[in-house]
Amino acid sequence: MHCSICCKAFNGYYKKDRPTCVSCAQALLFTPRVQQASALLDREKRHTHAEAILRPGNDGVLAALPEDADWDAITSAVQSEGVKKAQDEQKAIQARVEDITGKAQELRQQIEDYRHYLKNHRESNSQRRRDLEHERAELQKQKPRALEPLQLATRKAASRLDKVRLRTVDARALLCREAAALSGLRKTEGTDGVSQYWLGDVPIPDLRALNGKLNLEKYEMGRKGMLYQPHEVVTASMDNVCRLLGSCCHYLSVRLPAEILLPHNDFPHALIMMEKASYRQKSVPWPYKSHSQTSSPAASRLIDPQNGGSASPRSLHLTKPLRDLQKEDSKAFGYFVEGASLLALDVALLCRTQGLDIVNTFDDFCAIGRNLFQLLSSPEQQRLPLDRHPSSATAKTSRSRGKPAGTTSLGVYSHGSAHHSLAGYEGIDILSAWRLPSSSRLVDKLRSFFMNEISGAEWDFLSDKEWDEERADEMPVLVGGERKAASRQDPAMSIMTVTSHDRNDISTQNERQRGTSGWTKC
């Protein structure tokens, strides 16, 4: 552009031309302004074209066409294309409808088939149900005739088993009573009216009378007429009771809570095991190799340090009077008291399991002889004789109580039989209502009884030498024979029970009246 004033040409190529006036400046800026306006217009056009293309429908297609396009040809082509596309869509829809129709027809056919199948199946089930009802009715008619032989055989077998069981029970009771009779178990009435029980011509002492109060100085044992010490009689009585108890438990197949070790080779006296250590050792050696019951090495080998001696067997024999044993060896005294208590507990439990409910207090617990006699030899406890030919309809059994009819159940309950087993719920039911205290409480009570009796005694025991040193004015009044006539005297005897061992003196002593023997207070 040329300046209208100075006529300079400003085309942008000559940088040396510089504007000199206002018209030169306008001429210099005209060309860039035109170029900027053209660029803006071109940009606006392209933006409008892009928006037209992006719009949905035919507007975008039409906007995208060039301006010199043939609109008639384009319109006819678009119409023909739309018709063709519509026809294709119609054909696809028609084919899909045909497929759906065929599938529906197929499903209708399947439904009809299933209906026909269900109808046939219903009819078949109805027929089978009618057949089953008919067969069930026929079976109910034939059931009594079919079960009658089996029921008859079952009743006969049950009757035979009851006979065998009753005979077994009678045989057990007979063996126990015969063993008691052969062992010499009997009862005598003393002059004071107190009952005394004997086993093998040896008295069975009460546990509370073991502390030197047996009054056995006048009792003659053996053929030579020797007088035995009270503790020797206690030892013999304990051994006899253990033998009888072992035989009866073997016949009855009863397992006692405290195991009894009967005398045998190298085993002179019976021992008894604690309840927790019973039936665990196959062979137990004799623990008392000497007269001492605590210092023997064999005895120490049986003591478990962890159990505190609970595995050691408890002795049932005495080598000296019980009061002397308590003063010299308190441990051996405690072992003997435990052993005697366990033996009494075995007798009480045997009575309880055999239907004899007579041991419920401490006094009953201590009466070993009375309990054994009531169980094995009492006339009131004899069973009725067994009927050898009972009918199957009149079986003499008490089904409601679960034991045979009779006045006692000696031989009924056992650990060795499946019927009336003591290892089952019947044995638990028998012992559940037992009012006797536990074994530890019974041992403590018997030990405290002995300790109180020994510590609170109002009489003293004097030996022969002490009597020889007495002066004439200090000599006590003796009841019975002379003091110096005794050639052998038990330290357990009191000052008024000194007797002579001559046969003539024995006969005179037996004629002594009641009230002339006993303990005399110093």
> What pLDDT sits at residue 454?
82
Q: What is the model's pLDDT at position 286?
A: 72
pLDDT of residue 16: 60
What is the token pair recorded at 157?
A: 């077998």
Task: Give pLDDT, residue 481.
Answer: 43
Distance separating alpha carbons of residues 185 and 241, to the nearest angstrom: 10
pLDDT computed for residue 246 by the predictor = 93
Q: Where are the domains of the chain?
A: 1-60, 88-170, 184-219+227-283+312-382+409-455
* Contact criterion met (CB below 8 Å) for 497 and 217: yes
Q: Which residues pair with 271 in a beta bridge?
A: 261, 315
CB 497 within 8 A of CB 521: no
Residue 160 confidence (pLDDT): 94
- Distance in angstroms (rounded) separating the CA atoms of residues 335 and 316: 9
For residue 494, the model assigns a pLDDT of 31
Query: What are the Cα distances from residue 215, in Å, to 188, 229, 294, 368, 485?
Result: 15, 10, 29, 18, 20
Predicted pLDDT at 15: 55
Q: For residues 169 and 19, what is the distance between their CA atoms, to the nearest angstrom? A: 151
In this prediction the pTM is: 0.58
Q: Are 421 and 427 in contact (CB under 8 A)?
A: yes
Residues 6+ apart with CB under 8 A from 203: 196, 197, 214, 216, 219, 233, 237, 369
397 pairs with which residues across the strands? Answer: 404
pLDDT at position 342, please? 94
Q: What is the pLDDT of residue 20?
A: 74
Q: How far apart are CA 506 and CA 222, in angstroms?
A: 14
Give the residues of the chain that fall short of pLDDT 70.
Answer: 1-2, 8-17, 53, 55-67, 69, 71, 212-228, 288-311, 380-408, 456-522
Structure confidence at residue 264 (pLDDT): 79
